[in-house]
Amino acid sequence: MSIWQPILPYNAVCCRYSEIGTKGRNRGDFVRHLNEGLKRRLDAIFGGVRFEEERGRVYMYPSQERLLTAEEVEALRREIPALPGIASVSPGWRCGRNDLAAVEDYIRKTFPVVYEAFAKAFPLEQRTYAMRVNRIDKNFPLRSQEMEMRFADWILSEHRDLKLDLKAPKLRIGVDLRPDGIFIDYERIQGAGGLPAGSGGRALALLSGGIDSPVACYEMIRRGTYVDFVTFHSSPYTPEAGLTKICDLARVLNGFQKRGRVVAVNLLPLQKAIRDTCEEKFRTIHYRRNMMRLASVVAEFFEDEALVTGDNLGQVASQTLTNMRVIEDACPMMILRPLLVYDKLGIIDVAQKIGTFDISQIQVPDSCTVFAPVGPSTHANLGAVRADEAKLDLAPLLKQCLEQTTIMSTLNYAAHSFTELLEAPLPM
C-alpha cells in the first residue's frame, strides 16, 4: 500500500479481479458476490455505493455523484487489502470521453501534485516511474506504446530526476482506454485475491482464542466459503471473558462475509469423565475427537458442508499426522485444514492484516487447558484410543454437552439457548 500517495480529486474506484475472470458462464454469480462483499464493507463509508461492471473490472461510485473525500480514500487504503475476491483497487478518475485530450488534461493537472509527494518520499536514486496503458478500445488513435512514449517525452523533460523503469517502478501511471471511457490512476492497493465470500458453500469452523483458527476461518472465507463458528469452553473452570473474546474474533471475521453464527458448547461434562476414566496421555485426543462429534451435530443442523480447523502440522501434540488421523476417525464430516503447511510467521502476518492478532493475544484460559495432560501422546495408536474411549458412556455425555450449548450474539455477548440440537442424531 502506497501511504505516500496524495489525495486527488478522484471520482471513482476501479476494483479489479483475476481468478473470477476464469469462471466462464458462472462469472456473473461470482461478480454478484463480489459486489455484495464490497457493499457490506464500504457502504457505510461512502454513504451508499453504486456499481458499474466491465469484464475484469467493477467501477464503484458514491451513490450521489460527487468527488471522493480524503477520509473515503484513506478508508479504501485501509479496508481493501484483506477483502476476498479483489486483486487490486485504485481510486482514480473515470471519464465518459475517450480521447487523447481527456487523458492529457487529467495527467497534466494531477501529475505535478503526485510528483511532489513522490519526491519527498523517495531518495533521488529511487525515483523511477512507468506508464502502463491498457488499450481495450482498438479504435483509439494511438497504440499503447505510442501513448507511453508520448507522455514520457513530457514527463522526463519536466522532471529530470525521474528515470524510466519498466520492470519495477516506484511510481506507476495507469491508463485504461475502453470503448465507453477512460480510467486513470496513480496507485494500486493490493487486494487479498481469491474468491468472494459466499461463492463456494458453507462450513463450520472450530474457533478458539488463539492466533491460528481465526486465520483458518479467513482463508476459507477468502476461498468463497461462508463460515459459521463453534467454540468450546469449560464453564465454570473457564471465565466468561473467553466467550467475549470469541465473539470479538467472530465480529472481525464477519466483516469479510455475511454474518456467521457463533455457537458455544460446554465441554466440561465430557472432560470430567475423560479425566476420571481414560488414560491421561490420551486426554487431549479424546477432547478433540468429541469436539469433532459435537461440531458435526451443529454443522448438520446449520446445513454446513464441512468442518474447518486451524491445525498446523507438527505445531502441538494433537497436530501430528498420526494424531490428526486418530482425531479425524471420530468425525463423520469432511475436515478442512487450510493452515496445515503454513509457516507460523506467515499465519501471524495474516492475523495482523485482518485485525485478529491483537484480540488473539489477550490471555484467557480456554477448554484445552482444563485437565491438560502432563505428557500428551504425540503418536497415539488408533486401536488403543478406541479401546480407551470405549470405557466412556458417550451418548449421555454428548447430550449433557448439547444441553449446555448456546448461540452467542457478537453485538452484546448475550447467550441464547439452543435446545434444538437435542433432537439431532449423535455421531457415534
386 is written with which cell numbers?
478406541
Of 209, 234, 230, nearest in space to 331 by CA? 230
359 is written with which cell numbers?
484480540
Decide if 219 contacts 338 (C-beta within 8 A).
Answer: yes
Question: Residue 223 gets which letter from DSSP?
Answer: B
Per-residue CA distances from 345 to 94, 211, 222, 351, 380 (Å): 40, 11, 19, 10, 28
How long is the chain?
A: 428
Report whether pLDDT(2) > 60: no
pLDDT at 399: 95
- For residues 176-196, average pLDDT: 91
Q: What percent of the chain has pLDDT over 70?
A: 99
Question: Residue 370 gets which letter from DSSP?
Answer: T
User: Which is more confidently placed, 140 or 365?
Assistant: 140
Claim: this prediction has a pTM higher than 0.75: yes
Phi then psi for residue 16, to 5 deg, are: -105, 145
- For residues 387-401, average pLDDT: 96
pLDDT band, residue 1 (cuts 50/70/90): very low
280 is written with which cell numbers?
491421561
Of 184, 112, 193, 207, nearest in space to 154 by CA? 112
Decide if 317 contacts 372 (C-beta within 8 A).
Answer: no
Give Dmax (Cα) for the chain: 84
* Distance of alpha carbon 332 from alpha carbon 306, whole angstroms: 10
Decide if 247 contacts 393 (C-beta within 8 A).
Answer: no
Q: Which of 27-36, 140-149, 250-259, 282-291 has the lowest mean pLDDT?
A: 27-36
Give 231's strand partners. Answer: 264
